[in-house]
């Protein structure tokens, strides 16, 4: 099938609900409307209002209810309408969702999936474009993943729902309408594994979510100048698939990390530190980062100046190659 990222998630949710009657969806306007981005379109009609639940506008209440449902044997999938709306639920996620399994010494699974459209690039108003992944990746007890293409969106949502650990599932909202070919007969990669999406030998470029496509475009432009970039889609942010990262960097000797989130204390800082610790004797240049600026997310008219683009990625690649 030729599907979009949004359709891949929709089909994945449908598969999970067909396979397991304990899977229920919760969120604002996800039922009759099918969600702001129409990701859950048609699911309430087919599975009923008891399994696709239109909730009040209360993110903390959504997650608090999900905790109780998970403790009673359900597998709730909670949609946060926009990334900037997740903060009212942050207390529930960090204080309850992330800690329940440890608090019960593993006796209480917490199979909650928290779907969050994240990132910018759609010209939205304030509070509708954020990159909150570092908050959750820093929180012990949470798994954090980010899909970047239609195939991963289909498989990864099903894998996240099947997990007994809570999973923050990040969806690149500006890539919802990107298309790709899905072959349901193929075996998916493990949920918490990285993938080389373009092989190369000169520089390892690490990205996730919306920045994967940008880095692939940068790799195409670099190839015209004779430089072969190896692009890795991290896919899982917590845990990170560090062996795959190290294997690539030890071959290329150079690494550039790219994400939309602000630079300071972002995922790029953690990756740069880990690579430096484990691959120091292989590095030909310092690990470089391309990221959003350390400012509140700007108005939509200037967000393109804030977001990393092809030129900023190539600039860092040139800096790495200059050493």
Which residues are designated catalytic?
128
Alpha-carbon distance of 15 to 18, in angstroms, equals 5
- Cα angle for residues 113, 117, 118 (degrees, 5° grid): 115
- Residue 39 in tokens: 């990701």
Q: Quick one: which of 159, 26, 35 has its CA closest to 92?
A: 26
At a CB cut-off of 8 Å and minimum separation 6, what does 290 contact?
Answer: 256, 257, 258, 259, 268, 308, 312, 313, 316
Cβ atoms of residues 43 and 88 within 8 Å:
no
Position of tokens 């602000």?
262
Direct distance between the N- and C-terminal alpha carbons of the chain, in angstroms, rounded to an integer: 45
Write the CA distances from 201 to 15, 221, 228, 246, 253, integer angstroms.
39, 15, 6, 14, 9
- Crossing angle (nearest 10°) for helices 5-19 and 150-162: 30
Q: Quick one: which of 24, 32, 82 has its CA closest to 57?
A: 82
DSSP state of 188: P
Alpha-carbon distance of 239 to 237, in angstroms, equals 6
């Amino acid at each position: 099938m030729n599907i979009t990222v949004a359709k891949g998630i929709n089909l994945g949710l449908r598969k999970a609900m067909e396979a397991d009657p304990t899977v229920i969806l919760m969120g604002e306007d996800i039922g009759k409307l099918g969600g702001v981005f129409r990701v859950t379109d048609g699911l309430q009609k087919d599975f009923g209002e008891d399994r696709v639940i239109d909730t009040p506008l209360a993110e903390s209440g959504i997650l608090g209810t999900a905790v109780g449902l998970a403790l009673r044997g359900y597998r709730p999938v909670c949609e946060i309408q926009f990334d900037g709306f997740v903060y009212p639920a942050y207390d529930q996620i960090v204080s309850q969702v992330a800690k329940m399994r440890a608090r019960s010494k593993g006796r209480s699974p917490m199979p909650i999936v928290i779907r969050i459209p994240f990132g910018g690039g759609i010209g939205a108003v304030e509070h509708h474009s954020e990159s909150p992944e570092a908050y959750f990746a820093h929180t012990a007890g949470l798994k954090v993943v980010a899909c970047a293409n239609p195939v991963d969106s289909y498989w990864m949502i099903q894998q996240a729902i099947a997990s007994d650990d809570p999973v923050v599932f990040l969806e690149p909202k500006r890539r919802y309408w990107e298309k790709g070919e899905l072959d349901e007969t193929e075996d998916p990669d493990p949920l918490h594994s990285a993938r080389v999406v373009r092989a190369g030998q000169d520089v390892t470029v690490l990205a996730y979510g919306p920045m994967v496509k940008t880095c692939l475009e940068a790799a195409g432009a670099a190839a015209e100048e004779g430089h072969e970039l190896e692009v890795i889609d991290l896919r899982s942010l917590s845990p990170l698939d560090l062996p795959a990262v190290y294997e690539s960097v030890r071959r290329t000797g150079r690494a550039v990390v790219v994400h939309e989130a602000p630079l300071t204390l972002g995922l790029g800082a953690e990756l740069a530190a880990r690579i430096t610790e484990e691959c120091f004797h292989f590095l030909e240049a310092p690990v470089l980062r391309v990221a959003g600026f350390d400012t509140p997310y700007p108005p939509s008219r200037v967000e393109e100046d804030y977001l990393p683009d092809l030129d900023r990625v190539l600039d860092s690649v040139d800096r790495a190659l200059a050493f």
